């Protein structure tokens, strides 16, 4: 969890946050516990092709830290090759998934809500994991 120092800022050690399963692999999610928070940060380890999913409210920004040479993001069915240092902006309702092994940072705006993760058939993604 984040360590809230006072009402003005929060500090998170992503290596100490337990990883949780998600459609993309394993995610360490920071700043979910900041009252009134406007965003959250996730470090995601993608070890297999992710499941296609989308969000109805969230915008996500992916920043690729590391990946295999043939890694890609699939966005509304279009495969976009990625490499370390690239960033991808994913607005609400964009069906997306990571293809190949990657380590990414994801900024979620507003703060991530697991109830806003949907499988392509419009069912909650947790039922598809």
62: exposed, middle or buried (C-beta count within 10 Å: 0-12, 13-18, 19+)? buried
Q: Is the pLDDT of residue 51 over 90?
A: no
Q: Is the pLDDT of residue 129 over 50?
A: no
Q: What is the mean pLDDT of residues 7-31?
A: 91
How many other C-beta atoms are found inside a 10 Å radius of the C-beta of residue 50? 20
Cα separation, 19 vs 36, whole angstroms: 23
- Give the start-to-end residue ranges of the domains of the chain: 40-113
Reported as a single tens digit per residue, the pLDDT across 1-14 is 555 556 788 999 99
Q: What is the mean pLDDT of residues 23-37?
A: 90
Reported as a single tens digit per residue, the pLDDT across 105-123 is 999 999 999 899 898 776 6
Q: What is the mean pLDDT of residues 26-48?
A: 92
CATH says 40-113 is which class?
mainly beta
Q: What percent of the chain has pLDDT over 70?
A: 88
């Amino acid at each position: 969890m984040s360590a809230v120092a006072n009402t003005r800022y929060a500090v998170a050690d992503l290596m100490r946050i337990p990883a949780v399963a998600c459609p993309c692999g394993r995610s360490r999610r920071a700043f979910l516990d900041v009252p009134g928070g406007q965003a959250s940060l996730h470090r995601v380890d993608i070890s297999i092709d992710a499941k296609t999913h989308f969000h109805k409210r969230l915008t996500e920004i992916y920043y690729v830290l590391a990946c295999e040479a043939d890694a890609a993001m699939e966005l509304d069915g279009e495969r976009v090759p990625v490499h370390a240092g690239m960033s991808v902006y994913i607005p609400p309702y964009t069906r997306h998934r990571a293809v190949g092994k990657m380590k990414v940072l994801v900024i979620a705006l507003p703060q991530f809500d697991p109830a806003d993760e949907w499988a392509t058939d419009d069912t909650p993604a947790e039922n598809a994991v």
